[in-house]
Amino acid sequence: MKLDITALGTFYEMAREGAGLAAGRLTRMTDVETRVGVTKLNFMRGSEIRTEFADGTPKVGIRVELDGGLEGHSLIIFERDAALRIVQTLVAESGDTEFDDMNQSAMSELGQIMNAGFIDGWADVLGTAIDVSTPSFIEGTTAEPFIGDLDAAPDDNDLALLFQSQIEAVDTEIGFKHYLFPERDSMAEILEQHGDPKSRGIEYDKLAGFDEMAQQGAKEVASNITTLTGMDTSVKIRRLKFASLEAIPQEIDDEMLVGVAHELDGTPSGYLLFLFDEQSAREVVKATLPNPPEEGFGELGKSAIKELGNIMASGFIDGWANVLGTTIDHSPPQYIHDFGAAVIDPVIIQLGQNQDFAFVFDTVIMANDREFDCSIYAIPDEQDLERALNDLNVDKIEDAETKADFRMDELENA
């Protein structure tokens, strides 16, 4: 199966159109004003999908099977308490705490109507008819009841294309997530129909290989941080996202952030950002400087953050270059200290001159014993990425050297 940027863009528009229709139908049924959150096409491994479900919150889902122009399953998930609040707006005599037959019926009807909103949007974009089964009502606290019996749900180490849409109710605590699990053969057929005939596309297994390269590079980043700071760190790549450039800033937390940005030159080119919340950045400075500033970051603190960014960038991209057989240089670190999306807007503006979408590695590094986390955004140029992955030897990935050499005294003397 080949992933063509043009065809993936069609899928993204399809997901966004469906989310808008579903939000409108939720508003009409409940008189609750809604807004569409971020719509995403995620490439996620089965282990991460299951982790996302298993957050300890009881959930309610309405699932339908799709046939015709698109095959697979469409699933709407509410937190259980939110679903009960919705039922109370639909059924006057609804009970407060249980999903009896009446409450299940009301939620199933609502879920069917909302699923139909998504599906109608997809059908409009694809110019096809999609048939929908009778809805199934599901309760659970893990992924198993919701997707355990689906052929399209990936195993722990498999990479699957997953549609995710989030719709929030304005001024209330009601919200939900939507997932589409398309059947692989059906997905491949649509990609072929809507792709650019001039594009070589990206083989699916090579994109999975690129994700594995990022996993290895991120682990090297965590190892370097442990060496430098003495903080035991762990790494987690949550997903490889295919997103509209304009949607990426919406995912940045609305808080003051500290970080570094690097421009990548080579194959692939692009940008690499490491973002810390202010408290995490202070913890990093405390751990790397013998006499850290008491307030703010000061020039020494800024230098420490920048040098750590240099070392992390090397750890993240050296493995890519080795596996791809290319040279990837990165610019000196640019220090960032700004609020929310402002930290990434310059990157989006620069990339937006030549492309509308991007693949983004969404990675978080966490310390086990101190308040510390780092989000990594690796955003390659899409044309460079396509060329590089077409030449990728997937069998070389596991044996690739990812170690980035550095000297401790470089940071201590910064």
Instruction: Mark whether 321 and 370 lie in a shared domain.
Output: yes
Same domain, yes or no: 72 and 123: yes
> In what helix (H) or strand (E) does residue 375 lie, and over which residues does it extend?
strand 373-380
Same domain, 226 and 184: no
For residue 138, the model assigns a pLDDT of: 95
Higher pLDDT, 171 or 90: 90
Q: What is the pTM of this model?
A: 0.71
Q: Are residues 190 and 271 in the same domain?
A: no
Average pLDDT over residues 370-380: 76
Same domain, 255 and 326: yes
For 9-38, letters b (16+ CB in 10 Å) and e give bbbbbbbbbbbbbbbebbbebbebebebbb
**Of 194, 225, 250, which residue sits at a domain end?**
194
173 and 229, same domain (yes or no): no
Per DSSP, the three-state class of 199 is coil
Instruction: Please answer whether residues 245 and 382 qualify as being in contact, where contact means their C-beta atoms are separated by less than 8 angstroms.
Output: no
Q: Are 15 and 79 in the same domain?
A: yes
Question: Domain containing 262 — which CATH number?
Answer: 3.40.1550.10
Domain end residue (candidates: 143, 173, 194): 194
Q: Quick check: 6 pLDDT over 80?
A: no
The helix/strand/coil state of 137 is strand
Mean pLDDT, residues 57-79 taken together: 91
Mark whether 132 and 233 lie in a shared domain. Answer: no
Nearest to 366 by CA among 255, 261, 225: 225
pLDDT in tens, 242-277: 878 887 887 788 889 998 999 999 888 888 888 888
C-alpha separations of 119 from 63, 73, 79, 129, 368 in Å: 12, 11, 22, 9, 42
Closest CA relative to residue 147, chosen from 236, 48, 216, 259: 48
pLDDT value for 164: 73
Q: Are residues 240 and 382 in the same domain?
A: yes
Task: Please tell me whether residue 105 adopts helix, strand or coil conformation.
Answer: helix
- Note down the domain range covering 280: 203-412
Is residue 114 scored above 80 in pLDDT? yes
- The whole-number pLDDT of residue 304 equals 86
Strongest mean pLDDT among 78-87, 209-218, 291-300: 78-87
148 and 94, same structural domain?
yes
Ramachandran area for residue 48 (φ above 0: left; ψ -120 to 50: alpha; else beta): alpha
The domain boundary residue, chosen from 194, 215, 233: 194
**C-alpha 77: how far from chain center:** 18
Q: Which two tokens stand for residue 106?
A: 């009301």
- Alpha carbon distance 378, 347 (integer Å): 11
135 and 227 together in one domain: no
Say how many domains are in the chain: 2
